[in-house]
Amino acid sequence: MGANTATDGVLVPRVTTLSTDGVENGQLIFLDSDWTDDLGTTSTSDDIDYTAGFYFWSTATGLWTPINTNIEPWNEANTTNPATQNNQNIYTMGQVGIGTTNPLGALHITTENSRDVLFLRFIDSPDDDLDIDLLRSRGTLASPAILTDDTRIGGLRGQSLTNPTSYTFRPAAEVYFKSDGASSTSSSAGKIVLATTPTGSLSTVDRVIIREDGDVGINQPNPDAKLDVNGTVKITDGTQGPESVLTGDNQGNASWDRRAITKHTHTYMPGTTTDKLVDIEWIEIENNGTNGELTIRNTSTFTLRYAWHSNFMSNTGSGNLSAGSTTTIAIGTSNDVEIRATRYSSNEENSLIFQGTIISGNVKGFATFDQY
């Protein structure tokens, strides 16, 4: 016992290569310098690199194994060498589980509470970006092939637990990508699909599709316009109103125009005293057979407000006409007549104006106009 000296210690056999297998399990040697075992081939893909240090022979693995070196259950990229350093590129041929002992995919992450499953932080110049790339081909790894039209490339799917006993999950919503035409050396056209699962179902239904040319379909799998909607459209901006018309300006800005939509079915130059002058969406006006009178009939399901004048304002009148009811107005026997009918509401919008010329007590040449 005492202070150590330069000659103290056990001298382990020193070697320059590990090309000779050991005999006894636990047999100990020291590799003087780094050495590469080419396994007797000219290819470098199967080379095994050894760093200088102590090694013992393992009969279980049939390899010289370094001592006091952390060997991970991973291999160094492009080799069959066990990884020994934390800055090496590595791979494994098994499935990887994080937070689970039973990985169900190549990478299976399970977490609880509000912890982020995947946290990506990217710090660099504004022109750089952070991408998650999904690479897709047909064929095999040994003989890959280009994509055919409508090949599913990949996506992101949210799934809900539907059976706790069997631990079954089913898709609730997803966004995925497909080829939009065959790929080639000069084209990689694609489309984006948004899908949701309706109530009472366990499978997603495609809802929105963006094609390779930018055409967007809503409930329309093959849109042929920049916006192709299969279904109803609701636009609420505060200017909407009953029977309004959607119009646009020279900048392409759309807005509601509160003018009536007059779906004319008849507008007459009457030949008899009882011909209908107007028969449109919600009002009828006709000569009623009595000299100097007209009949107004409300054929809608709502109340109309009406006003009229003729003979240079000598004959005038106004009132409300309930749904399905009729009224008679005395227009006189000469000059012109004008009748204004408005849907009765808080802002009295959607006016229609009816104008005609009175000849021998009957209205001739009757016309209709929309007005705010």
CATH of the domain at 270: 2.60.40
Residue 140: inside a domain, yes or no?
A: no
* Same domain as 218, residue 155: yes
How far apart (Å, rounded) are the C-alpha atoms in residues 8 and 1? Answer: 11
The full length of the chain comes to 372
Predicted confidence (pLDDT) at residue 131 exceeds the cutoff of 50: yes
* Same domain as 184, residue 276: no
Residue 243: inside a domain, yes or no?
A: no
Residue 257: inside a domain, yes or no?
A: no
**Could you give the percent of the chain with pLDDT greater than 90?**
33
Residue 87's pLDDT band (cuts 50, 70, 90):
confident
* Same domain as 166, residue 84: no
Residue 357: inside a domain, yes or no?
A: yes
Residue 272's pLDDT band (cuts 50, 70, 90):
low
* Same domain as 364, residue 280: yes
Give the pLDDT of residue 372.
46
Looking at beta carbons, which pairs linking 266-275 to residues 24 or more positions away fall under 8 Å? 267/366, 267/367, 267/368, 268/366, 269/364, 269/365, 269/366, 270/362, 270/363, 270/364, 270/366, 273/361, 273/362
Domain total in the chain: 3
Residue 24: inside a domain, yes or no?
A: yes
Highest-scoring range by mean pLDDT, 126-130, 210-214, 308-312, 334-338: 210-214
Mean local confidence (pLDDT), 273-291: 78
How far apart (Å, rounded) are the C-alpha atoms in residues 343 and 372? Answer: 11
Residue 33: inside a domain, yes or no?
A: yes
Predicted confidence (pLDDT) at residue 114 exceeds the cutoff of 70: no
* Same domain as 362, residue 271: yes
Average pLDDT score over the chain: 83
* Same domain as 308, residue 225: no
Predicted confidence (pLDDT) at residue 269 exceeds the cutoff of 70: no
Give the pLDDT of residue 370.
61
* Same domain as 276, residue 225: no
Residue 133: inside a domain, yes or no?
A: no
From 25, 59, 93, the end of a domain falls on 93
Position with higher pLDDT, 32 vs 340: 32
Residue 339's pLDDT band (cuts 50, 70, 90):
confident
- Dig out the tokens for 136 from the structure: 């897709």
From 229, 249, 275, the end of a domain falls on 229
Please tell me what DSSP assigns to residue 25.
Answer: T
Residue 279: inside a domain, yes or no?
A: yes
Predicted confidence (pLDDT) at residue 260 exceeds the cutoff of 70: no
**Could you give the percent of the chain with pLDDT greater than 70?**
87
Residue 70's pLDDT band (cuts 50, 70, 90):
low
Give the pLDDT of residue 259.
55
Q: Which domain holds residue 308?
A: 266-371
